[in-house]
Structure 1
């Protein structure tokens, strides 16, 4: 893939597949969800190799180190070669466990949970998340 010398941050984030569309990457920059050294970055900011970006995308937080410039969007296997994900393991495990949590279902027609039921459900969920966060640190 040919590399460019000058590349906008919104185009780069779209090319490495962090955002589905370039306009979503631009909106993230405008909303202050893309930061360089703790400061907000405009969508037109020039990306340079070895810069460290903090990107917030919903509940997910990523720390991306630029290892190469990529002008056009490519497949995910190729895009991985142009950045390094330096997000701490604790943050990655916490985000993934949110989607792997057990789904508690109630039988249809049983009505709303009582206060006691609600507390038991909360305790079960809290125990599950505490166990997974502790297990990922080992």
Structure 2
């Protein structure tokens, strides 16, 4: 009999992912955001810190006084430098590209 091998989809916990991508300063802050119901994954509210996140998921969360929308492009293996973290997601927040280009021009 032949067995079909189903590829395992690599995932990360939402609290660790937010911390590793430097979207929160501490893992505890990420856990607070999730447990208070402020984070959504693919449009559904997440209430468990153990929620699995995979490549392609859309995460919506509060950021300062606005809402941040990001698409996960790759899963980090560690909490690396900011440049490494920025390569792991695409920001779909309205006006995010304009603010980045303005900051780059001002520097």
Give me the TM-score of the superposition, normalised by structure 1: 0.59
Conserved in 2, the CA contact under 8 Å of 1:53 and 1:63?
yes
Q: Aligned to 1:44, what secondary structure does the other structure show?
A: coil
Q: Gaps (5+ residues) in structure 1?
A: 94-138
Consecutive unaligned residues in structure 2, runs of 5 or more? 1-8, 100-107
Residues 22-69 of structure 1: per-residue CA shift (max 9 Å, x gap)? 010011001111102332112111111111010113413110100000
Aligned length: 91
In the other structure, the counterpart of 2:49 is 43
Alpha carbons of structure 1 residues 89 and 57: separation in structure 2 relative to 1, 3 Å: closer
* Structure 2 CA distance for aligned equivalents of residues 30 and 57 of structure 1: 16
1:72 CA drift (Å) = 1.5
- Secondary structure of 2:59's match? strand
Residue from 65, 68, 91 that aligns with 1:85: 91
The structure with the largest alpha-carbon Rg is 1
Distance 1:72 1:12, change over 3 A: same
Q: 1:129 maps to which residue?
A: none
- SS of the residue 1:11 aligns to: helix
- Distance, in Å, in 2 between the alignment partners of 1:43 and 1:54 is 15
Q: CA shift at 1:7, angstroms?
A: 1.0
Contact 1:7–1:71 (8 Å) recurs in 2: no
| Structure-to-structure mapping, 1:81-120, within 5 angstroms | 81-89=87-95
Is the helix fraction higher in 1 or 2? 1
User: Which structure carries more strand by proportion?
Assistant: 2
TM-score between the two structures when normalised by the length of structure 2: 0.75
1:60 aligns with 2:48: no
Q: For residues 106-129 of structure 1, give each alpha carbon's deviation from its aligned partner in whole angstroms, at most 9, with x where no partner exists.
A: xxxxxxxxxxxxxxxxxxxxxxxx
